[in-house]
Amino acid sequence: MKLIVGLGNPGAKYAHNRHNIGFMALDRIAADHGFPGWKSRHQGVISEGRFGSDRAVLLKPETYMNKSGDSVGAAMRFYKLEPEDVIVLHDEIDLAPGKVKWKMGGGHAGHNGLRSVHAHIGADYGRVRLGVGHPGHKDAVPGYVLRDFPKADADWLDDVLRGCSDGAPHLARGDGAKFMNAVGLRLSPPRSGTGEKTPVKPKASAPETTPPPDTRTTLQKLMDRFT
């Protein structure tokens, strides 16, 4: 069983913030895969369900971002899981908007939600890094991630969320490579068509011309032949 966690801040005020893309991804996964309604548990809300034969628990901590580890640690202990059974989906300013990366373990890179998770369960858990872009200066980061996604981002954001949903069954099986393949198909779908080259239309040849009638006499034709 996997504990799949989306990071964000609770409440309508934060619902569409860049910082809440983890919550958004879990909402899409739950809706697309028929998970039951959210229930208050472990200082957050959870939804338990299955991807085929693979059981998973979706968790959205409601402790606010910088205390996300309180909720994640409580849920992990309740379900008697190891850190490698935990997968965290979170915003990533070091990736361009619309980029998605999978990794196991590593540092928290200053992300307050990951910093808190590290403090409670260590670093050996899986992460889905959801790129939101960087404002250009580190002092602008807090305000940037706590602002809503602009309307111009709607298309790529929808593709990312749907891609995470497409790949969720692979996350539940712990297969990060297949998860990334599913996301990639949503973000960069193959071109439509048969793949065959379009036949080249041959150039039209010049129209044939009919020679003018020969009006020479028999004697002229004979003379022309020997001159």
Catalytic residues: 19
Q: Which two tokens stand for residue 213?
A: 């009638």
C-beta pairs of 29-38 under 8 Å, 24+ apart in sequence: 29/4, 29/58, 29/164, 29/165, 29/168, 30/58, 32/162, 32/165, 32/168, 33/165, 33/168, 33/169
Burial class (CB in 10 A: 0-12, 13-18, 19+), 134: middle
Q: Are 167 and 180 in contact (CB under 8 A)?
A: yes
Q: Are 128 and 100 in contact (CB under 8 A)?
A: yes
Q: Are 172 and 43 in contact (CB under 8 A)?
A: no
